[in-house]
Amino acid sequence: MVEQVAEQSEASIALVESRAPIAVTEPVEAPPVNLKAPELYINRELSHLQFNVRVLEQALDESHPVLERLMFLLIFSSNLDEFFEIRVAELMRQLKYSRETVGPDALHPQVVMKRIGEICSAHVERQYKILNDIIFPELEKEDIHFLRRRDWDDEQREWIKVYFEEKVLPVVSPIGLDPSHPFPRLVNKSLNFIVELDGKDAFGRESGLAIIPAPRSLPRLIRLPDNLCDGGENLIFLSSIIHEFAAELFPGMTVEGCYQFRITRNADLTFDSEEVEDLARTLRGELHSRKFGDAVRLEVDQRTPEALISFLLQEFSLDEAHTYRVDGPVNLTRMMALRDLVDRKELRWKPYTPGMSKKLKQGGVFEVLRIRDQLLHHPFQSFAPVVDLLRQAAKDPKVLAIKQTLYRTGVNSDIVNALVDAARSGKEVTVVIELRARFDEESNLQLAGRLQEAGALVVYGVVDFKTHAKMMLVVRREEGKLVRYSHLGTGNYHSGTARLYTDYSYMTSDEDVGEDVHKIFQQLTGMGKILRLKKLQNAPFTLHSRMIELINREAKHGKDGHIIVKVNGLTEPQLIRALYRASQAGTKIELIVRGMCRLRPGLEGISETITVRSIIGRFLEHTRVYYFGNKGEPEVFCSSADWMERNMLNRVETGFPLYGKLAARIKQDLDLYLADNSHSWELHSDGSYTLNQPAKGEALISAQDALLSSFAS
């Protein structure tokens, strides 16, 4: 390199000395970056797993009460169950039928599966270490005891034996394995035991093996009577009881070993939309099959002999890569029952009462909305005004019609009760129910039946496009004309999750918004061309293209541009490429992405001005907010849609603009989340996350705590 520079210098001197004219050349521009290059994208499934790992990390956060730390550990199990039931199942299906597809990251499903196995194995092992070495000992200090069989005294053992004989024995059905009793078809995620036997039964059979399916009707955690213990809360696992008295199920035979296991199956519902004549009937037929889909994971007690594990793997057509040996109960999610068994409020989150404005408390909702729009931030502000709008509409003789979308609600919720009352009182009630809300299909079928019996018109949206929009429309006659009242939200119409998820509710009597909502309902219940909207953006028609348009506008502002996006997932490639181009133009981009994120921040020359953070705290962050600075004239949207392919291109979604003080409030909330240095995690370009912590002398900021303090009473 030095010799080359020297040669160039000598050549330059020679040219000067000869006074020959020097040709001036234009600087060569670097070739444009290929924004579709696979290395610019994080794999979706691996990013999803990273979110679950961040949830698990909450079990180690000593600022959380100990029972809440246990809940985070159990939520990790629940999330992982769904990940295997849906995401891993899909990858395995692709590999099985040689229909592999790759995303923008270009990772082959085989490679993704291998990495999933490595990550899950490491963190499941870590999960049980946290449970056994940290959480259980801390619960012991608080006088909450999970008694192992070796800890039972004689009096306790006698009580447990009676419990087994009266509650377990009458409903359990052990299955000996022989030619007339082949391996049973076990239900998805059910607790089971494989038993090694010695001896012959009454018919002279000698198979050596049996299966004990734990009855699903029985609780997995049983609390011992206080008079049998030395104080505190004393609990035992159903698995311990079955293990202890397994011999009672095989009289005259010797139980050589008894080991718990659990199988996870493909739980995704699939059907050919072109063959569907009646969506409800088709779903009813598919729901049963969910319990018995192809096996995707085997969890076993780590003490299980290898020969038995090999036997189980063969029965479920799995290999070693899909096996998880655990040091404890295989069905940890069922430990969530502890919340109902142990009343220790001091070990839970401090209770709070969501805030509510005096006007909404005192007056009718219609009177309030005639004067001013309302923006509610749940759970910090009460969900009650949304329910009150519907309740008052159901009873108000001036109300002529109610239209509502329902995604995850519950059969007996306050919202549904109000819709039933409205239909029975003679109002025109139209409800668009999305039957395919994953794992809520059965509940939604029951919900549809209840509403239809009350006289409501129930439709199921569009077969190939899930209806994910959160909309309510009330039509009221006032002074000789019809006035529309609208509710639009980022979350579901569910009072329970409104106490657990952060979401926005927008309530308005704005004529343009009401007309737009009416048109979207027309598209869902009727047939016709796309209807032009005045204020709302809706997927799958305008929302995606409008977001790209606004990103591109900020890119034109260069360093004066500013974008803030808060969503649950960011995976859609066209949006990511638009953000990359804006970053290359110098635009400041701040992303708050709770879960999956395919975008790589901090890449030189590509995403240097982009930061990505994830907030994990007491409440599940669920708001979808888009902020575009527009050189001092910001445009702000709330939405039901994440920045994912399914939301932008394959679902019915809404994005609704906010103005003035409401938009300013959204910006304040976003700034608070961006300042969080206690429960926020920073994404790095390599796909890893680190927990943000306050610098020396810097105040500790928790966005959720600050919002709770400002609104809750």
Per-residue pLDDT reduced to its tens digit, 386-397: 999 999 999 999
Q: Give the position of tokens 């959204």.
A: 666
CA distance 213 to 331: 13
Q: Quick one: angle between helices 89-96 and 109-130, nearest 10?
A: 150
CA distance 544 to 649: 7
Question: Residue 13: inside a domain, yes or no?
Answer: no
DSSP per position, 126-171? HHHHHIIIIIHHHHHHTTEEE--GGG--HHHHHHHHHHIIIIITTT
Q: Let me know: does 672 contact 613? Beta carbons within 8 Å.
A: no
Q: What distance lies between CA 11 and its chain's CA centroid?
A: 66
What 3-state class would DSSP assign to 472?
strand
In the predicted model, is pLDDT for residue 489 greater than 90?
A: yes
Q: Indicate if the alpha-carbon torsion angle 117, 118, 120, 122 is positive or negative.
A: positive
Residue 646 belongs to domain with CATH number: 3.30.870.10
pLDDT for 205 equals 62
Task: Provide mean pLDDT across the span 181-205.
Answer: 83
Contacts for 538 with CB less than 8 Å, ≥ 6 apart = 469, 520, 652, 653, 654, 655
**Shared-domain flag, residues 233 and 160:** yes
Is 352 within any annotated ligand binding site? no
pLDDT for 18 equals 37
Task: Provide mean pLDDT across the span 208-221.
Answer: 93
Question: Residue 129: inside a domain, yes or no?
Answer: yes
CA distance 188 to 453: 33
User: How much is the pTM?
Assistant: 0.90
Q: Tell me the pLDDT band of 708, cut-offs 50, 70 and 90.
A: very high
CA distance 58 to 324: 22
Q: What residues make up the domain containing 324?
A: 143-344
Question: Residue 622: inside a domain, yes or no?
Answer: yes
CA distance 258 to 211: 9
Q: Where are the beta strands (DSSP E) in 33-156?
A: 144-146
Question: Residue 351: inside a domain, yes or no?
Answer: no
Q: Let me know: does 486 contact 512? Beta carbons within 8 Å.
A: no
Q: Let me know: does 390 contact 363? Beta carbons within 8 Å.
A: no
**Shared-domain flag, residues 515 and 543:** no
Task: Provide mean pLDDT across the span 394-407.
Answer: 94
Count the neighbouring beta carbons within 10 Å of the beta carbon of residue 193: 22
Residue 289 belongs to domain with CATH number: 3.30.1840.10
In the predicted model, is pLDDT for residue 333 greater than 70?
A: yes
**Shared-domain flag, residues 512 and 387:** yes
In the predicted model, is pLDDT for residue 26 greater than 80?
A: no
Task: Provide mean pLDDT across the span 407-431.
Answer: 88
pLDDT for 30 equals 54
How big is the chain, counted in residues? Answer: 713
Domain C-terminal end among 505, 525, 545: 525
Q: What angle do CA 235, 236, 241 make, to 5 degrees?
A: 160
Task: Provide mean pLDDT across the span 304-330.
Answer: 95
Question: Residue 195: inside a domain, yes or no?
Answer: yes
In the predicted model, is pLDDT for residue 280 greater than 60?
A: no
**Shared-domain flag, residues 327 and 367:** no
Segment among 28-32, 209-213, 563-567, 658-662 with least mean pLDDT: 28-32
In the predicted model, is pLDDT for residue 140 greater than 70?
A: yes
**Shared-domain flag, residues 417 and 443:** yes
In the predicted model, is pLDDT for residue 411 greater than 90?
A: no
pLDDT for 291 equals 64
CA distance 40 to 47: 14
| Closest C-alpha among 138, 253, 141 to residue 206 | 253
- Higher pLDDT: 566 or 203? It is 566
In the predicted model, is pLDDT for residue 2 greater than 80?
A: no
Residue 42 belongs to domain with CATH number: 1.20.58.310
**Shared-domain flag, residues 176 and 293:** yes
Is 216 within any annotated ligand binding site? no
In the predicted model, is pLDDT for residue 24 greater than 50?
A: no
pLDDT for 273 equals 44
Element (H, E) at 486: strand 481-489
CA distance 510 to 372: 9
What is the per-residue pLDDT across 446-460, written as a single tens digit (0 to 9) for each? 888 888 898 899 888
**Catalytic residue list:** 468
pLDDT for 293 equals 82
Q: Tell me the pLDDT band of 461, cut-offs 50, 70 and 90.
A: confident
**Shared-domain flag, residues 88 and 221:** no
| Closest C-alpha among 282, 288, 281, 253 to residue 267 | 288
Q: Tell me the pLDDT band of 177, cut-offs 50, 70 and 90.
A: confident
Question: Residue 88: inside a domain, yes or no?
Answer: yes
pLDDT for 409 equals 77
Give all strands of the β-sheet with 233-237 in edge-to-edge order: 144-146, 233-237, 221-223
Q: Tell me the pLDDT band of 156, cut-offs 50, 70 and 90.
A: very high
In the predicted model, is pLDDT for residue 275 greater than 90?
A: no
CA distance 421 to 455: 10
Domain C-terminal end among 502, 525, 548: 525
Is 79 within any annotated ligand binding site? yes
Is 52 within any annotated ligand binding site? no
CA distance 267 to 89: 8
Task: Provide mean pLDDT across the span 413-439.
Answer: 86
**Shared-domain flag, residues 174 and 307:** yes
**Shared-domain flag, residues 592 and 520:** no
In the chain, the number of structural domains is: 4
Question: And the tokens for 457?
Answer: 């018109």
Q: Indicate if the alpha-carbon torsion angle 337, 343, 347, 351 is positive or negative.
A: positive
In the predicted model, is pLDDT for residue 298 greater than 60?
A: yes
In the predicted model, is pLDDT for residue 440 greater than 80?
A: no
Task: Provide mean pLDDT across the span 148-168.
Answer: 95
CA distance 300 to 304: 7
pLDDT for 450 equals 85
Q: Give the position of tokens 């019996």.
A: 453
What 3-state class would DSSP assign to 276?
coil
Question: Residue 14: inside a domain, yes or no?
Answer: no
pLDDT for 71 equals 97
Task: Provide mean pLDDT across the span 80-94.
Answer: 93
Q: Tell me the pLDDT band of 657, cut-offs 50, 70 and 90.
A: very high
Segment among 12-21, 165-174, 565-574, 678-687 with least mean pLDDT: 12-21
Q: What angle do CA 316, 317, 320 make, to 5 degrees?
A: 95
Is 205 within any annotated ligand binding site? no
**Shared-domain flag, residues 206 and 267:** yes
> Please, where are the H alpha helices in 543-702?
543-556, 573-584, 645-649, 660-675
Domain C-terminal end among 298, 320, 344: 344
- Higher pLDDT: 450 or 669? It is 669
In the predicted model, is pLDDT for residue 417 greater than 50?
A: yes
**Shared-domain flag, residues 251 and 270:** yes
Instruction: Please give the span between the terminal C-alpha atoms of the chain, in angstroms, as a whole number.
Output: 71
Question: Residue 476: inside a domain, yes or no?
Answer: yes
CA distance 59 to 67: 9
Task: Provide mean pLDDT across the span 60-89.
Answer: 95
pLDDT for 20 equals 40
What is the per-residue pLDDT across 605-645, written as a single tens digit (0 to 9) for each? 999 999 999 999 999 999 999 999 999 999 999 999 999 99
pLDDT for 603 equals 97
For the chain, the average pLDDT equals 89
Is 665 within any annotated ligand binding site? no
Q: Give the position of tokens 């063969």.
A: 314
Question: And the tokens for 363?
Answer: 């007056």
Question: And the tokens for 133?
Answer: 């070495």
**Shared-domain flag, residues 154 and 284:** yes
In the predicted model, is pLDDT for residue 1 greater than 60?
A: no
Residue 564, class by beta-carbon neighbours within 10 Å (0-12 exposed, 13-18 middle, 19+ buried)? buried
Give strand pairing partners of 564: 590, 627
